[in-house]
Amino acid sequence: MTTRLALLATLLAAACSGPPDIAGLYMTTEHRVSQTDCNAGEPASSSPPYFRIEEEELFGATFYTRTNCESEDPGTCTGGGGLLVEETDDGYRGTASFALGEPPNCTLGYAVYEAAVDDDLLTFESRTYSESGGEPCTTDEAEARGSDMPCAGYELIAGVLVE
């Protein structure tokens, strides 16, 4: 009976725990990119030795961002990208859409960002979809087309938690 109660308590705690805390500094263990499609990509020609996932807040809403780092010093962190706002079972995800230019020279874009953590390993993936000549030239149209547009790029960066 005690074993059943302990198992039940463990299952309830896991079910109610929500997504893991992904904030922290990670040492890069894998970095893959593709500039043409959303396949697994090729090893990146250069990789940041570290990347940081930071928790931020705006108007009471919590979100996460990724920056690339040259060392463990937060002052060396720049670039990166991706807004993670929606909780998932093992991390967070987010999307962004954009429209640039005017028809017929409009470019629509849609990006999907996902971060998942398994023990101390965090995997951050981004997929960008884009199409030229879109009309109407609005972010709403880009969002509506989303991943139905051709994939224009993929990035995967993975790392182990340092701090």
Q: DSSP label at 145?
A: H
Angle, vertex CA 134, rays to CA 130 and CA 135, nearest 5 = 150
Encode burial over 23-39: b for 16+ CB neighbours within 10 A, e otherwise: ebbbebeebbbbeeebe
pTM of the model: 0.83
> What are the phi and psi torsion angles at 90 (to 5°)?
-125, 15
pLDDT tens-place values along the chain, 163 residues long: 333 333 333 333 444 557 788 999 999 999 999 988 888 789 999 999 999 999 999 999 889 999 999 999 999 999 888 899 999 999 999 999 999 999 889 999 999 999 999 988 999 999 999 999 878 999 999 999 999 999 999 999 999 999 7
Q: Quick one: 18 exposed, middle or buried, by C-beta within 10 A (0-12, 13-18, 19+)?
A: exposed
